[in-house]
Amino acid sequence: MPELQGKVALITGAARGQGRAHAERLAAEGASIIALDLCGPLPASVKYRSATTDDLDETVRLVEKLGGRVLPVVADVRDFDGMKSSVDVAVEELGGLDIVIANAGIAVVSEWDRITPKAFRDTVDTNLIGAWNTVMVGAPHLQKRSGGSIVLVSSAAGVRVQPFMVDYVASKYAVTGMAKAFAAELAKDNIRVNSIHPTGVNTDMATNPSVQEIFAAAIERNPRPASLFTNMLAVDLLEPSDITDTVLHLVSERARFVTGHAMTVDAGITLH
C-alpha cells in the first residue's frame, strides 16, 4: 500500500525544481496533488528565469503519468486572498487536505551594500510572508481532517549564515522560527509542522550563470566568507529528489511524532 494513499497535498512552487520533485514523489505514494505556482514574472532582482505555465503543465503531465490526480493552480503566494480562494476551490474538489509543503521561494544574490530596499522586501514577501500565507490558507483545512503535516522549506542559510545574500538569510532564519511557533500552537489539532534546510540544490536558483557570476565577483572582492559555502561531504549540489526523500519522511506516518524540528539535508554545510 502506498504510504500516502488517499491523502491530498498542497505544494507551492510546484512548476519545476524541488516542487516538481515533491509532487511526483508524493503522487507516486498515492497522494492527490494541488500544484501551485506563480507562473509569471519574478521580481527584477531575481536573475534566473521565471517558471511558466508550460513548466506547470509538465508537472501535471509527470504526475498524471504516475497515475496520480493533480489540480494545477496559478496563484501568487504573496497574495493571501487570491491564493486562499484558489486553494479553497481545489481542496473542495479533492475532498480535503492533509499535507502542506511551503516550497515557493526566491533568492537574490547581492553583497550587503548593493542590495536595494525593494529587492530585500521582495525576498521577505515571497519567502517569509509567502510561507505564512501558505500555512494560513492550508492549516484550517487540516484542522477539518483532525490532523496533518506541514513542511516549510527553509535553507541551510536558515541555520548557519551564508554570505552575499543577507535578504535570503534573514527570510530563511525567520521561516525556521516560524515553523517552531506554528508547531507549538497547532499541536493541539494533531498538526505537525517542521522545516527542512537544504544546501545548494541542482535547480535554476543555484546553477544559473548570472547568479554564479554575482557570487564570483563578490568572493573576489571579499574572499574570507567563501569558506561558508563548503559542504563537508564530497558533493557540490544535491538533486531535488534528495530533498524529496526528507519531505516524504516528514509527511508520512514514520514521522508521526516529529514536530517543531529543523531538519538539515545539507551534506554537512551547517557543521560548525
Residues marked active site are found at: 168
β-strands 8-12, 99-102 pairing: parallel
From the centroid of its chain, how far is CA 269? Answer: 19
* Residue 7 host element (H or E): none
Burial 154-184 (b: 16+ CB within 10 A, else e): bbbbbbbbbbbbbbbbbbbbbbbebbbebbe
Contact by Cβ (8 Å): 134, 172 = no
Question: Quick one: angle between helices 130-144 and 80-94, nearest 10?
Answer: 30
